[in-house]
Amino acid sequence: MILLRSLLSALVIPTGLGLSPKPLPRLVVVISIDQFRADYLLRWKTQWTGGFRRLLAEGAVFPNGRQDHALTETAPGHSTILSGRDPAHTGIVLNEFGVGDTAYPILGVPTGAGASPNRFQGTTLVDWMRKQDSLFRFLSVSGKDRSAILMVGRSRGPVFWYRGGRFTTSRYYGDSLPPWLLGWNARLRTEHLVGKYWPLARADSFYAETDSEPYENGGKGVTFPHRLPTDSALAAKALSTSPWLDSLTLDAALAGATALGLGQRDTPDLLIVGLSATDYIGHAFGPDSREIHDQLLRLDGWLGSFLDALAARVPPDRIVVVVTADHGVTSYPEFSIQHGRPGGRVPLGVIVREANAAITGRNPHRSPVLEETDGLIYGDSARVRSLGVSPESLATALLQRVWRLPGVVNAWTPATLGASPHDVDAARWMRALPRSFSWFVAASIKPGYVWSDQVGNAEHGSTNPDDVNVPIVFLGSGFKPGVYPDTVRTTDIAPTLARLLEVKPEGDLDGRAIKKILR
């Protein structure tokens, strides 16, 4: 017994050697910037003065991050960030099959669709942290419902998003808003937005981009300064397409974090923020516009102030921040062609409309059998069969037509996709489509091309680098700063945080911890 005690005492590490475990973070902050293309962070790096400058100077920066799946849309992208799993395993295939749920109406909205995470499958970092710590607290605030909801997963709790002039939630999360948010909403007077101007944040010399292009924003309001409508309701709605949506989102998140006391314990809490204005502005004006440049200059400043405010409430060395995006965006094809680069719009819709007409016998009372989006033709194969059409034969016939579209470089049916596991685009489609999802054709297009039937928005959704590539940045004392050339994925974020926080993930993950950046 004496010998055993001697051996055990020999295994105790003296605290004076500096080998005692580092205390866990008190607050983990995960920020998703919607449509934040991978090259944005470095494109204007000499002009950053706030949050982006801090990320580059002090963070572990991965410029070559990936939303490494097809159908690069908001809902699928956000489902990967804190789940560690691809959309094929979260069940979130498209925005259309994201969070819309009429069973859970939105509070304060008299009519319209509700929202819930009921289509989401599996768990997220929220569940893993809650399972380990019964006192764990979190908050999710975003400009969009799908980003607020899908980074959390199925957990119930404080999850809020902007809708019609205020931040709200759905009945999935509760029947009323908390007092702190009611007070915050009361201070957001929509009449203050009426006629508000959006001028340039800096001197004209800061911007190399042309101020107006005829294809931007539907050809209307393409020149600075921009102005919100003079009607209160319209101004509240149009706020989403202005930089101030992000400013308000950060302010609401800070108010909620303060009210809930996030980061005030000695064990970790989680703050999730979805910044949506870059997506709205990027769709309207494109990634090469003066508007997106100005939006990011403003966001840089607001993000810096937000991080400073958090550091005033929680010891800075006990805060961890992750910044990433749900997808990128492709330049307006009209812009690319104008500047001598390849580009074009690929009209998949015409094939689907003609196929629907042929299958349903042009009966106006029958709903369409097929749908299309971002290179995917999908629909209910059982219904197709019930109409006397073989789904396999239909897929083959559609494939032949898709191949003939200008800009298409590859296409597959359910019978052929698995035969190309080493093709990058095929692999991205396999990571996007659950086995149970009914589809007919999936296709990839050339860089610079977008899936679109007519001139309109700048688009994303393809398997190309402009849509797939996103920045991933880890900031905090637990990470080794630097710019890393490695290719990492958004599915790696949750397992990396889990390892840092010493929590155990649940289920099989597609991502893995990025060990080289952990101290």
DSSP annotation string for 194-255: TT-EE--SS-GGG--S-S--TTGGGGSS-SSSEE--SSHHHHHHHGGGSTHHHHHHHHHHHH
Q: Take residue 120 and report the two structure tokens written for it.
A: 């989401």
How far is 359 from 306, CA to CA, in rounded Å?
Answer: 55
**In this predicted structure, what is the pLDDT of residue 41?**
95
Q: What is the CA radius of gyration of the chain?
A: 24
Q: What is the pTM of this model?
A: 0.94
Cα distance from N-terminal residue to C-terminal residue, the chain: 38
AA identity, residue 101: D
**In this predicted structure, what is the pLDDT of residue 364?**
58
Assigned architecture for domain 27-336+464-517: 3-Layer(aba) Sandwich (3.40)
**In this predicted structure, what is the pLDDT of residue 218?**
86
What's the Cα-to-Cα distance from 245 to each of 12, 268, 276, rounded to whole Å? Answer: 53, 28, 7
How far is 334 from 285, CA to CA, in rounded Å?
Answer: 12
What CATH code is assigned to 344-445? Answer: 3.30.1360.150
**CA 129 distance to own-chain centroid:** 21
Lookup result for tokens 């819309």? 100
How far is 191 from 234, CA to CA, in rounded Å?
Answer: 10
How far is 163 from 140, CA to CA, in rounded Å?
Answer: 15
Residue limits of CATH 3.30.1360.150 in the chain: 344-445
**In this predicted structure, what is the pLDDT of residue 12?**
39
**In this predicted structure, what is the pLDDT of residue 220?**
87
How far is 140 from 151, CA to CA, in rounded Å?
Answer: 8
> Which among 182, 181, 196 is positioned nearest to 231, based on CA atoms?
196
Length of the chain: 519
Per-residue pLDDT of the chain (519 residues), as tens digits, is 333 333 333 333 343 444 556 789 999 999 999 999 999 999 999 999 999 999 999 999 999 999 999 999 999 999 999 999 999 999 999 999 999 999 999 998 877 789 999 999 999 999 999 999 999 999 999 999 999 999 999 999 999 999 988 999 999 999 999 999 999 999 887 667 788 899 999 999 999 999 888 899 888 888 999 998 888 888 888 888 899 999 999 999 999 999 999 999 999 999 999 999 999 999 999 999 999 999 999 999 999 999 999 999 999 999 999 999 999 999 999 999 999 999 999 999 999 999 999 988 755 567 899 999 999 999 999 999 998 999 999 999 999 999 999 999 999 999 999 888 789 999 999 999 999 999 999 999 999 999 998 878 999 999 999 999 999 999 999 999 999 999 999 999 999 999 999 999 999 999 999 999 998
Within 385-514, strands assigned E span: 408-412, 439-445, 449-451, 469-475, 482-483, 488-489
